[in-house]
Amino acid sequence: MMRKPTLAAALAGLCLTATLPALAQQPVFANRTACLARADALPDFAYEEAKLWERQGGAADARLCQALALMLRADWALAAPALEASARELTKEPNAARADLWARAALSWTNAKKPDQADSAYAQALALLPDNVQILMDRAIFRAGQERYWDAITDLDKVIEKAPKMSEAWLLRAQAHHVLALDSKAKTDVEMALKLSPQSGEALLLRGNLYADAGIGIKAKEDWEKARRVAPGTAAAANAAENLAMLARLETEAKEKARTQEKKQRQ
């Protein structure tokens, strides 16, 4: 999955700037950009400093910084509602910035094991940016994780239409089709994924599995061996190794059975 930009880069362009009152104490942060940079670097410190900045008059900027600091320190249950509050509060900001906040809230709800709230947050994000490829992809991954494979496919259809060279989308749709026993569609999708990313261990593993399910052991073995070579140390390589070991056992058992039958026929 594509990585999100740093918080400072993604959100520094928001146009709201707090008007700080003339206080004897120097404000903790001069502006939002400074607070977001601090949150990126040291979220624990930034959270406490942003709370002080809010008391000094930092207003919405300070609350946004707190929300993002909570997310960056993996305090998911607190980060999610705080991010949603900022998305609602910053009504004058561009749709892209507010949608990003909703998407981050959705990720936080997911990590907090609150799928209903995550689904609602994704809906809010896509209401603002209905054609955003990254948010659609993120929701497809979320939906697949919830075993909502048809819903995931619906999102992936849109992603592939808008970004046909995104190999991750083809692979995820292939995996969803495979789970739904639509192996013909899964094979078409995984072939495209491999055309775009020939060294993908996950795609090679899946195509090998599809070959094995179709009884084409030689092709399955080739893909699994390649998955081990191109993606060492990954889960895909480990699964491929397990499949190769199982295939070797089956071949040994088949040979033993054939020898036993041959002996019986000679007696």
Mean pLDDT by 10 residues, the chain (267 residues): 47 44 68 92 94 92 96 97 97 96 98 98 98 97 98 98 98 98 98 98 98 94 97 96 92 76 73
Which contiguous run of DSSP H or E holds residue 166?
A: none
What pLDDT sits at residue 11? 53
**What letters, b where the CB count within 10 A reaches 16 and e where it falls short, cover 7-38?**
bbebbbebeeebebeeeeeebbbeebbbbbbb
Cα gap 155→185, rounded to integer Å:
16
Task: Please compute, for residue 75, the number of CA atoms within 13 A of its CA located in the half-sphere on the CB side.
Answer: 14
Query: Can you spell out the DSSP letters for 93-134?
Result: S-HHHHHHHHHHHHHHHHHTT-HHHHHHHHHHHHHH-TT-HH
What pLDDT sits at residue 28? 86
Structure tokens at 182: 């639509």
What pLDDT sits at residue 12? 47
Cα gap 30→20, rounded to integer Å:
9
